[in-house]
Amino acid sequence: MAIPNTRRRESIFDNPIGSFRGVNSLTRFADSYSRSVNFHGNKIFESKLAGDRAYFDEDGEELVDPETFVPSRLGSKISTIFKPNLTSFGEFETGAGAGNGNGTGAGRTGSMYSFGSRLNPITSRTSLLSTGIKPPNDSTFLKTIEDSNGKNITVIAGESTLPQTVFNSVNIMIGIGLLALPLGLRHAGWMFGLPFLSLCAFSTFQTAELLSKCMDTDATLMTYADIGYAAFGVNARILISFLFSIDLLACGVSLIILFADSLNALFPSISVLRFKFVAFLILTPFTFMPLRVLSMFSLLGVMSTISVIITVISLGLTKSHAPGSLLEIMPTNIYPESFSGILISIGIILSPFGGHSIFPNLRVDMRHPQRFATNLKVTYAITFLADSTMAIIGFLMFGATVKDEVTKSILTTAGYPPFVYILISCFISLVPLSKTPLNALPIVSMLDLICDVNYNNFDLAKKSKFKVKFLRLFNRVLVNLAFVSISIVFPEFDRIIGVMGSSICFTVCLILPCLFYMKLCNTTIRERIICWIVITTSAILAVFGTYAAVAL
């Protein structure tokens, strides 16, 4: 006679708050977010600018960066990162969409492995734990994929679910660029500004899908630089590395300007220049922190940005008189202020939609990459709602008086409760403090590589300890000093955002994805015509927009 199972079914209430199980538990969300921040903070992970996308030593063993697991010519052997007791537990097929890069669609198969034990103790300092990757049961899942040269390369299997990827994508795209959108709308007017904002969202959404289709042609494509290399070789990789470097530099400068302008608006007796030096003194020590700490600290920046949006809307609904009120709006312009105003607005309006450099990494990190199209739809819906809301509300609240940062307009407008000014300043100050070190990290890593003092260098122990420490200290101080120096020479927030939007976003988010798609995929005549229209139009707007942001 069978004895009935009287054991009570386990409930979520049996676990502490915040430790709910399942693929979308809070812990998994934190791990997924940490990985996405690492992707964002390592745009220039390519220590290689030439050669294959995978590297092997003389024994045929793969070399990878221990922190990001990206193939690296100066990386570590997989056997020194993991104990060599991996066990195959299944086969997978990359699908009919995977091909040889020429659109032939030849499927590929590989093996899936699980490392039951963690890392080799001798490399614990640079272990994969520092990247936030902590799969269930303390196991790390890897998969082998055959590249175009017939070699098997090992990559980390994707772990993020669709909700986690949406969360990460939205966090990447909703940044400080939206603070300048009310000014962009003022320059462009209602008639041009709102349609162009919608067009930017739609066109960048389409090109993000093109990148995803490019990745379907070759299962070994992991990063934006990989796609460029597969399409146009080493020259594309050099161009992409240069563009990402400029993007990170401009982003770091804009964060310094935002920090100084916001505090100067609250304490006008202290000059903006002095606050920029304060930012230098505060931010420099953060560049010495581990990547794992910076990743989690950057969550404060995300929360601060969202809090700013909510606060601006709340202030507009509670203030009864203009300026700065949604109950009594300021006069606005339907038509553009001038032709130069239209050109300046181009880069400002496009800048919030620049997440393409990270999208390939987020797709690779997905548990089900075929659902990436759904991720893009949800991400762009949320992002467009947030950006258009900030643009419209900020323009209605301040009209022609809106400043380059809508938060500066609030800080310089009387009539709000006294605590609001301190609250807004705290939110804005946290954004640079949490994001600038991550933006500096790839540039610092590149300088360490040039100076031959990066941690992946096998001969580092043979070098003078004083020289190594001095050069690493010098590189970190130099990068932060560059941020501050450029922010002093170019102190206008809207112009920096305009340059980023016009020069970087048009190239990375519109022009290059179209070129990659035509090169790697089997395109129809209609698709090629549309791509060339987008490329030509984007190139013209990029040139005029950049000129306007710099010279007008």
Closest CA to 295 of 130, 173, 455: 130
pLDDT at 130: 33
Greater confidence, 65 or 254?
254
Residue % of the chain over a pLDDT of 70:
69
Structural tokens at position 537: 């139009």
Concatenating the DSSP letter of every residue in 124-150 gives: GGG-GGGGT---GGG-EEEEEEE-TTS
Q: Is this structure's pTM higher than 0.85?
A: no
- Confidence grade of residue 207 (pLDDT, cut at 50, 70, 90): very high
pLDDT at 244: 85
What's the rounded Cα separation, in Å, for the pair 39 and 364?
11
Least confident of 135-149, 308-322, 343-357, 399-413: 135-149
Domains and CATH numbers, the chain: 160-454+461-551 (1.20.1740.10)
pLDDT in tens, 466-490: 777 888 888 889 999 999 999 998 8
Burial (CB count within 10 angstroms: exposed 0-12, middle 13-18, buried 19+), residue 27: middle
What's the rounded Cα separation, in Å, for the pair 271 and 253?
17
Structural tokens at position 451: 């100076």
pLDDT (mean) for 8-37: 53
Does position 203 have pLDDT exceeding 70, yes or no?
yes
42 to each of 92, 148, 154, 261, 481, how far by Cα in Å? 29, 25, 19, 28, 20
5 to each of 2, 8, 9, 11, 13, how far by Cα in Å? 9, 9, 10, 16, 21
Host H or E run for residue 63? strand 63-64
Structural tokens at position 352: 């919030």
Greater confidence, 330 or 10?
330
- Confidence grade of residue 381 (pLDDT, cut at 50, 70, 90): very high
Greater confidence, 101 or 467?
467
- Confidence grade of residue 15 (pLDDT, cut at 50, 70, 90): very low
Residue % of the chain over a pLDDT of 90:
28
What's the rounded Cα separation, in Å, for the pair 286 and 273?
21
Greater confidence, 507 or 75?
507
Q: Cβ(414)–Cβ(315) under 8 Å? A: no
- Confidence grade of residue 169 (pLDDT, cut at 50, 70, 90): confident
Q: List the helix and strand counts (H, then E) for the chain.
A: 17, 6
pLDDT in tens, 214-256: 998 887 788 888 899 889 988 888 888 888 888 888 888 988 9
- Confidence grade of residue 531 (pLDDT, cut at 50, 70, 90): very high
Least confident of 114-128, 518-532, 538-552: 114-128
Greater confidence, 82 or 103?
82
Mean pLDDT (the chain, rounded): 77
- Hey, which residues does 82 pair with through a beta bridge? 119
Backbone angles phi, psi at 237, to 5 degrees: -65, -40
pLDDT in tens, 285-303: 888 877 667 766 777 777 8
